[in-house]
Structure formats: structure tokens, C-alpha cells
């Protein structure tokens, strides 16, 4: 059961997806109860302004994606929700790809849009409440 060990998730959103991420998190506050949230810097600021507690790292292009990737590799982050802008150009794309690759390498659940994010949080919430 993957939800047994979910105590920290990482939140990342490209600029065009930050408002969508904040709305998503507000809609899933119950599922996030008791889970520590870390985020890249600018995303973290948006999340904090919405009233949610978050540990903000550096901005993505300034190394925040790499910081989160390191925590994935160290098994300190147990799930990642990353709302990507598939049409945008991103100077830090190598860091983004590293984060995605490490999620695959370490079998860390990764959601890249609201639909998969909802299913990920629903799975965490339902497993935590059926044991």
C-alpha cells in the first residue's frame, strides 16, 4: 500500500498553471490533512497566499526543481504533483526532466495534471482511511 508512507508531497506548477494548482489544492484540503507540502519557490508563494502551509524551496529555474528531485532521490518526498505547461518553453527543462526521471526511477507517484492529481490524492486519502 503506497499511502502508508505518504507524509510529504511536492507541488510544482509552471507559471501558466499556478492558479490552477492553487484551486486544485483548495479543492483537496481534506485529502492533504496531515501531509507536509513542499513546493518550488514561486508556486510555494502562491500556495501560501491561498492560506495553505508550505515549505517553499528555490524557484524552479533557480534550482527548486533540482532541490525537489534531490528529495525524491533521498526518499524524503513520497509523491509529486507537477502541473506542467506542455506548450511553454522552459529554460530549466533539464531539471524538469531530471525530476520526472527520478520519480520513475524511485517509483514515486507523479501527477502532471488535475485529473491524475485528483486520483493520486483520492488514493492516498482512501487508503489512509480504510486501514
**Is pLDDT above 80 for 60?**
yes
Please say if the pLDDT value at position 55 is more than 50: yes
The pLDDT, as a whole number, for residue 117 is: 97
Nearest to 23 by CA among 121, 99, 114, 115: 114
| Distance between CA atoms of residues 18 and 81, nearest Å | 12
| Contact status, residue 99 vs residue 65, Cβ threshold 8 Å | yes
- Compute the mean pLDDT over every residue in the chain, rounded to the nearest whole number: 90
11, three cell numbers: 507541488
Q: What is the pLDDT of residue 125?
A: 73
- Band (pLDDT 50/70/90 cuts) for residue 129 is low
Cβ-contact 127, 3 below 8 angstroms: yes
Integer angstrom CA distances of residue 70 from 61, 77, 86, 87? 15, 9, 23, 26
**Cβ 111 vs Cβ 119: under 8 Å:** yes
* Residue linked to cell 490552477: 20
How far is residue 89's CA from residue 70's CA, in Å, rounded to a whole number? 23
pLDDT of residue 4: 58
As for how many domains the chain has, the answer is: 1
User: What is the structure's pLDDT at 30?
Assistant: 87
d(Cα 6, Cα 66) in Å, to the nearest integer? Answer: 21
Annotated catalytic residues are: 65
- Residue 124 is predicted with a pLDDT of 81
**Res. 1: pLDDT tops 50:** no
Banded pLDDT at 88 (limits 50, 70, 90): confident
- Residue range of the domain that includes 81: 2-128
Report pLDDT for 127. Answer: 63
- Evaluated on CA atoms 82, 86, 88, 93, the torsion sign reads positive
Q: What are phi and psi of 30, to 5 degrees?
A: -60, -40
The CATH number that applies at residue 93 is 3.40.50.1380
The yes-or-no verdict on residue 110 having pLDDT over 70 is yes
Q: How large a percentage of the chain has pLDDT more than 90?
A: 73
Amino acid at each position: 500500500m503506497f499511502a502508508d508512507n505518504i507524509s510529504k508531497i511536492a507541488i510544482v506548477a509552471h507559471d501558466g498553471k499556478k492558479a490552477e494548482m492553487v484551486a486544485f489544492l483548495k479543492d483537496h484540503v481534506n485529502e492533504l490533512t496531515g501531509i507536509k507540502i513542499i513546493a518550488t519557490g514561486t508556486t510555494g508563494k502562491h500556495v501560501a497566499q491561498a492560506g495553505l502551509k508550505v515549505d517553499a524551496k528555490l524557484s524552479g529555474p533557480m534550482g527548486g526543481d533540482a532541490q525537489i528531485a534531490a528529495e525524491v532521490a533521498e526518499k524524503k518526498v513520497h509523491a509529486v504533483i507537477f502541473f506542467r505547461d506542455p506548450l511553454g518553453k522552459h529554460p530549466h527543462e533539464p531539471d524538469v526532466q531530471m525530476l520526472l526521471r527520478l520519480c520513475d526511477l524511485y517509483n514515486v507517484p507523479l501527477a502532471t495534471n488535475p485529473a491524475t492529481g485528483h486520483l493520486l490524492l483520492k488514493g492516498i486519502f482512501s487508503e489512509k482511511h480504510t486501514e
